[in-house]
Structure 1
Amino acid sequence: MAGAISHEHFEHSKVVLTLNLDNSQPIELGAFVSAFTSLASDYRKGLENKGLDAEAKLYITEVRSGSIVADLMPVIATAFPVVAASVEQLGQAVDFVNTWADRLTKLKDGLVPEGLSKSELKTFTDAVQAVASDPNANQLLEAATFEDGKRKVKAAFKFTTSDARAIEKTIEGEFKRLEQQTEQTHERVLMYFTRSDIGNAPIEKRSGERAIISTISERDLPIMYASELAEEKIKHEIREPDENIYKKGFNVDVSVQFRGEKAIVYKVLAVHQVIDLPDE
């Protein structure tokens, strides 16, 4: 991250992101803070995802009845000359506003943009909270430059109370979907252990062991057993003193439990064969 923004940067920066929050009722403090900090956080994260060293500071520039205006002063670390750096900052600011607009518009229309994480969805919930909780509010985001002392808007996006509430509804539905647990059965897949335990575990409960099934996920996941027979076949190999469980592969049927789209546990249904894994 770049260092703190200097007074000189504030005076001479040619690019600014301005957020105007216009409410008909007093804004709850937490919602007010979230509206502005979520913007700064998402801006920084967007630039970091592009490999840019960036910083963004919020300055409250105007407070009047029913309206709060804040400037987000973007600074991108660059070895370019000042003019080129300003062009780079403007391009990034315009791109940010357009991306913000595209994502919020999709969420308003009931669509979840591809690739958004739960934390990113939470950022958008925070961003619209102040507007959604007011019966007649709107929020305006602008990317602007200062040329010859005049402010020129290069990109803008505005949403209203009804938009914000629709966005909240979409995100709430997505959170519920992500928490739903489903199962998929896979037959005769190769499983190998990354953590084992000689002790027995209750059937249908996590055993404390972990295993990888690379055709399903490269991550190791907890395992449980659907029957005593399936458990005993594996435990026999674990308890055999002359065998190394980590050099064994197990041809198994498993039920993969998902939370949303993420696999969270393997339930071993049947063990068909035990094989020796080749030395790496």
Structure 2
Amino acid sequence: MDGGGAHIEVTIDTEEPIELGDFVSAFTSIANQYERYMKREHPDLRDDAKVYVREVRTGSIIADLVPHAGTLISLMDQILIVRQFVHAYGERLSVYLGGNGRLDDASKGELDDLMKQVGAIAKSKNGKGQIAAVVYENGQRQVRAAVTFNTNESRAAIKQIEDHRKALDAISSADRQRVLMVFKRSDVGSADVGVKSGERVIIESLSDRDLPLIYGSSLAEERIKDQMRNIEENIYHKGFVVDVNVQTRGGRPAAYAVTHVHQIIDLDV
């Protein structure tokens, strides 16, 4: 359990005291992500995919987390696993640190972990965090991979992750998935989420009538409006493969609330 000279170094640098929950979450989120990574990339070692705290140093909070990836792999393999994990984790976290990206394959559990990872930094006025893959060779500390983030980036990430979670909740509650929607009346102006937009669409697999369109998520509204505003092609010659909640009146469809846009296709007209 000595980590073979390779470990994950987590740095939390804040001007204010850190809440205990945020402190613990910064480490448990990495442990969860490491287990997911090992299950995905090294399934033969997943039973040994555990992370242990070796040392917490004073000053800025700097914790050495020692991944245990089995007793039969070599030192070089352990170093490689730690480096690749931090690199992969950093890439996924960085998508949200930019404040305008999303991971198509992220689960709610992973989104929770990513949010917890940056929670302490986001609450600080001028905080900095880092996750690094560190090895010691001939007594010299070497950083093989790292991701860093500050307060502003962490706050942007939390907002983006929260929006992504809401979108996933909307998708999971959809009445119909992957149905073809065509516009009969459109409007390039912005529309509020959850109320009738003034636009009308038809989904032939559900009803032969055109019905009012409701944007059930901000992500769906953004993607459809972007198609209207920035693409020169005729919106009425496009089909939208969407998930929808069907609102009914008297047992008949009365409006469609679009929660997710899977694909935009050209129609044969």
Instruction: Compute the TM-score of the two structures, normalised by the length of structure 2.
Output: 0.62
How far apart in 1 are the matches of 2:129 and 2:79? 21
Q: CA deviation at 1:125?
A: 0.6
Question: Alpha carbons of 1:21 and 1:226: their partners in 2 closer, same or farther (altered >3 Å)?
Answer: same
Q: Establish whether residue 75 from structure 1 lines up as the match of residue 64 from structure 2.
A: no
Please report how far the alpha carbon of residue 150 of structure 1 lies from its aligned counterpart in structure 2 after TM superposition. Answer: 2.2
Is 2:128–2:148's contact at 8 Å kept on the other side of the alignment?
Answer: yes
Give the structure 1 partner of residue 93 of structure 2: 104
- Match status 1:86 vs 2:75: yes
Which residue is 2:109 aligned to?
Answer: 119
One-letter code aligned to 1:14: G
Does residue 1:157 correspond to 2:154, yes or no? no
Mapped contact 2:55–2:65 kept (Cα < 8 A): no
Distance 1:113 1:179 in 2: 15
Task: Say whether 1:28 aligns with 2:19.
Answer: yes
Separation in 2 of the partners of 1:33 and 1:79? 30
**CA shift in 2, pair 1:148/1:120, >3 Å:** same
Query: Per-residue deviation at 1:74?
Result: 1.2
Residue 97 (structure 1) shift: 1.2
* Letter of the structure 1 residue corresponding to residue 142 of structure 2: K
Question: Which amino acid letter does the alignment assign opposite residue 28 of structure 2?
Answer: T
CA distance in 1, matches of 2:68, 2:204: 50
Q: After TM superposition, list the pairs within 5 Å mapping 1:129-140 onto structure 2.
A: 129-140=119-130
Measure the CA separation in 1 of the matches of 2:110 and 2:81.
19
Q: Residues 76 and 258 of structure 1: is their aligned pair in 2 closer, same or farther, counting only changes over 3 Å?
A: farther
1:19 and 1:141 in contact (8 A); partners too: yes
Q: Secondary structure at the match of 2:125?
A: coil
Shift of 1:24: 0.7
Aligned 1:260-271 pairs, distance under 5 A: none
Provide the rounded CA distance (Å) in 2 between the counterparts of 1:87 and 1:159.
28
Runs of 4+ that moved beyond 4 A: 181-186, 225-228, 255-262
The one of 55, 62, 81 equivalent to 2:56 is 62
Distance 1:134 1:99, change over 3 A: same
* TM-score of the superposed pair, with normalisation by structure 1: 0.60
* Ranges in structure 2 where 5+ consecutive residues have no aligned partner: 180-202, 207-240, 242-247, 263-269
Question: What displacement does 1:256 show?
Answer: 9.8
Q: 1:261 to 1:39 in 2, by over 3 A?
A: farther
For residues 1-280 of structure 1, what are the structure 2 equivalents within 5 Å? 9-10=1-2, 13-50=4-41, 51=43, 52-53=45-46, 54-59=48-53, 61-65=55-59, 67-77=60-70, 79-80=72-73, 85-109=74-98, 110-180=100-170, 184=179, 185=203, 187=205
The 1-side partners of 2:49 and 2:259 are apart by 35
Is the 8 Å Cα contact of residues 144 and 153 (structure 1) preserved in structure 2? yes
State the superposition RMSD in angstroms.
3.4
The residue identity in structure 1 corresponding to 2:4 is S
How many correspondences in the alignment? 195
Secondary structure of 2:163 counterpart: helix
Percent of aligned pairs sharing the same letter: 28
Q: Is the 8 A contact 2:18 2:120 kept in 1?
A: yes
- Which residue type is aligned with residue 205 of structure 2? E
Distance in 2 between the 1:103 and 1:133 partners? Answer: 21
How far apart, in 2, do the equivalents of 1:63 and 1:15 lie?
17
Measured after TM superposition, the shift of residue 99 of structure 1 is 1.3
> 1:240: which partner in 2?
none
Aligned AA for 1:103? R
* Structure 1 gap ranges (5+): 1-8, 189-215, 217-224, 231-252, 263-280
Change (3 A) 1:15 1:147: same
* Partners of 1:165 and 1:134 in 2: CA distance: 10
Shift of 1:161: 0.5
SS at match of 1:61: strand
- Match of 2:205, SS state, is strand
Q: Could you tell me how far 1:186 is from its partner in structure 2?
A: 5.8
